[in-house]
Every structure is written in structure tokens, then in C-alpha cells.
Amino acid sequence: MIRLAQGKDTKEIWEAHIASIREVCSKDYSSDQVAGWSSFAYSHEHWVKTMKKDHVLVYEENDKVQGFCHSGIINDSTAEIYGFYLSPLVIGKGIGREMILSTLKYFKDLKNIKIVKLMATRTAKPFYEKAGFTVTGPEFQEPTRGIMLECIPMELEL
Ligand SMILES: CC(C)(COP(=O)(O)OP(=O)(O)OC[C@H]1O[C@@H](n2cnc3c(N)ncnc32)[C@H](O)[C@@H]1OP(=O)(O)O)[C@@H](O)C(=O)NCCC(=O)NCCS
């Protein structure tokens, strides 16, 4: 089930995020990058604040959260997908597609949002292309928790 995130989900969001980096993105990044990228402490407060401020969807299966899509508004006409990570247990089954469609519908229904941006991982670039996003510039290095991560700027016009 895809639903809005709640305070009780924070630990499982954190677990799914780490598993997704270590077991899914690891095929496209070096082990040093994966180690740095996935070395963040659990913070319940961080996610509760984020849920109040932004739009956070989770995917729940068998009473456990297996991933999230975190997005928000950056100005009057633009939204951004900040983070989208599914656990390796549930990827490749169409759940990502359902979550991105739900997120895009949320922004479209707001009427004023015209563009949705994101910085794609190498891992997710083909997924976003299938969802209608296009690459808007060359791959670049994003500083992330002490390491540099190759990302690709992409956007979709609603
Ligand atoms: C990106 C992610 C959220 C996609 O979720 P998913 O549930 O695996 O994707 P889906 O199964 O819904 O795939 C939807 C379509 O994209 C395609 N697709 C997904 N990943 C793909 C890949 N790596 N290469 C090629 N096609 C891919 C699927 O084949 C499917 O196509 P179809 O509709 O023609 O069958 C998930 O794979 C993930 O968590 N990846 C690791 C974390 C990450 O890199 N997140 C992005 C941060 S910007």
C-alpha cells in the first residue's frame, strides 16, 4: 500500500533508505561512495519535521515500510523530488512507477506547479526517463556526507 508517511514510520524509512543505497545503488557507485553515502544516523526528529514541511509517501507491505518518496515545493512553479528509495525486496515490481505517478498527480493538482526537478542517481536515471523526465544537463558531482556522488539533473513538465 502506498500512503502518506506517519511519525511511526521513521525507523523503517531509515532502514529502507540504507538498504536501497547499499544493495541497489551499489551496482553503479564505488564501495567508498556507498559507505559514505549510507553512513547517516537514525533521526526520528528529522523525519517528523520533514513530513510536516514536505510531501512524503511510503510503501508498506506486510506491515513494514519498504521505501519512501520525499518531494516538496521549491518556488511558486517548481517542485523537486528530494529522495526516492525502495528496499531491494520490493524493487522492479512497478511500485516505483505508482509512487512517482502519485507524486506527480499531487503536484499537478496544486495547479501552480509546472516543473518537477530532481537529481537522479545513475541507478534511477532509466526509471525516471520511463516516467517522462528528461536530462537537463551533464552528470555532475554532488557533495554528500563527505564523499562526491555522480548525479544527473532531470526534470518533467507537468
Ligand atoms: C528508482 C526506484 C525508486 C524505481 O522503483 P522500482 O519499483 O524499481 O521501479 P518500477 O518497477 O516501477 O519500474 C518502472 C519502469 O522503469 C523501468 N526501470 C526501473 N529501473 C530501471 C533500470 N535501472 N533500468 C532500466 N529500466 C528501469 C522498469 O523496467 C519499468 O518499466 P516498464 O514500465 O516498461 O516495465 C528504485 O529502483 C530504487 O529505489 N532505486 C535505488 C535508489 C535510487 O537510486 N533512487 C533514486 C534517487 S534520485
Provide the residue count of the chain: 158
Nearest CA to ligand 1 atom 20: 127
Count of the separate structural domains present in the chain: 1
The residue type at 76? D
Please report the sign of the dihedral spanned by the C-alpha atoms of residue 49, residue 51, residue 56, residue 62.
Answer: positive
What pLDDT is stored for residue 153 in this prediction? Answer: 98
**Quick check: CB of 84 below 6 Å from ligand 1?**
yes
Residues of the chain with pLDDT under 70: none
11 lines ligand 1 (CB under 6 A): no
Q: Which residues contact 156 (CB under 8 A, 6 or more apart)?
A: 104, 115, 116, 131, 132, 133, 134
Which atom of ligand 1 is nearest to 94's Cα?
A: 12
**90-135 per-position pLDDT tens digit:** 999 999 999 999 999 999 999 999 999 999 999 999 999 999 999 9
Compute, in degrees rounded to 10, the torsion defined by CA atoms 98, 74, 87, 97: 20
**Other CB atoms within 10 A of residue 143 CB:** 8
pLDDT at 103: 98
Q: Is the CB of 103 under 6 A from ligand 1?
A: no
> Residue 111: left (phi > 0), alpha (psi -120 to 50), or beta?
left
- Please give the distance, rounded to the nearest whole angstrom, from the Cα atom of residue 130 to the centre of ligand 1: 9
CA distance 66 to 88: 9
Q: How high is the pLDDT of residue 81? A: 98
The reply to whether ligand 1 has any atom less than 6 angstroms from the CB of 101 is: no
Euclidean distance between CA atoms 151 and 109, whole angstroms: 28
Closest residue by CA, ligand 1 atom 37: 91
Here the CATH number for the domain that contains residue 30 is 3.40.630.30
> What pLDDT was estimated at residue 54?
98
Query: Taking the complete model, does pTM exceed 0.75, yes or no?
Result: yes
- What confidence score (pLDDT) does residue 46 get? 97
pLDDT of 19 reads 98
Structural domain boundaries enclosing 61: 2-157
